[in-house]
Structure 1
Amino acid sequence: YHSSRNVEHARPMFEASWCALLASWTSVMEESADDVPDELVGLVMRGFANAVHIAAEFGMQTEREAFVTMLAKYTYLDSAKTMGQRNIEAFKTIISLALTDGNHLGSSWAQVLKCLSEFQRLHMIGTGAKTDASIFFPAARGGNSGANGLAAASALASPLGANSSE
């Protein structure tokens, strides 16, 4: 083995491996919740966060966008699919990335802000607060959120609220 302290050596290694990393982590996230242990999901989330950090530090826009987009997809905030713990972990990872790597996220901020906006909308629906749509367009009440919106808001709000004091 050869060790190096030059950070620039990490760039070509990441350029060569990012597609394989994304594919392997995606396959873990696509598996049934019963088939994947929570510890593995945690490692995948850590991998996503580290990959975004590396891509952001080296100004690798395509790679950064790919990882942030897939991470946002796994929040299920804009989906009719039932949410689980892994989706909450994906949301928490996106929030963490915004806090730690925000200065280097560039155009990936669009995905982060979309997730935050959708979370806020679902939280408002779940708590019974009036959304902008229900105020400005009373005939459009209920929208497309349905029962999944209420379940998503309550599932996301309680774990985040419990961890906000840390």
Structure 2
Amino acid sequence: MDEHTICPWCQTEIVWDEEIGPERYCPHCENELSGYRTMQIGIDDSEDDEDDEDEDDEEEVEESWDSDRSFDESAGSFLTRSREHLMLEETVERILDQQVEVPECPSCREYMLEVGVEHVTGSQFNPAQSAGLNTPLLTAPFRIIRYVCPSCFSVLGKLAQDDQERMVHVLTKASDESS
């Protein structure tokens, strides 16, 4: 039997089957679907089954509401996970707005947050000798800007701008020497 959910935020019907299970967030507007805001509609011809499903849905909503709350001691109140999720999204957006570069996560395609700079020194790095070049492409010291995905927590490193320019200079110099 297919289950239907109407998103209370964008009024889009979300259809799911029993094998996959219900959606936790609306795939269209990304708002939370669980809790008292959600209307579950079961398609069934039997009125008796409909009454039982309504009672089950009410119990499910109450359980969902209780499990989606956490106590915020500083505020002395309960926060829903949806509110925490929105607060997280707002913070991530604010950080991304201030970043110079905003790479996409190669795993999940979310935007990544800059978390710091790694300084690589000579004792930590053994440069590779590229074929056809008299000098390594990159020598220490150099800096790697580190990014972390707030969704899947993948880590990405990118060479700092001035070290990128230094590497390009080595490559262009090698190109001039081979000509």
Instruction: Tell me if both proteins adopt one fold, taking TM over 0.5 as the criterion.
Output: no
Choose 1 or 2 for highest CA Rg: 2
Greater share of strand residues, 1 or 2? 2
Which protein, 1 or 2, shows the higher relative CO under an 8 Å CA cutoff with sep ≥ 6?
Answer: 1
Q: TM-score, normalised by structure 2?
A: 0.23
More helix by share: 1
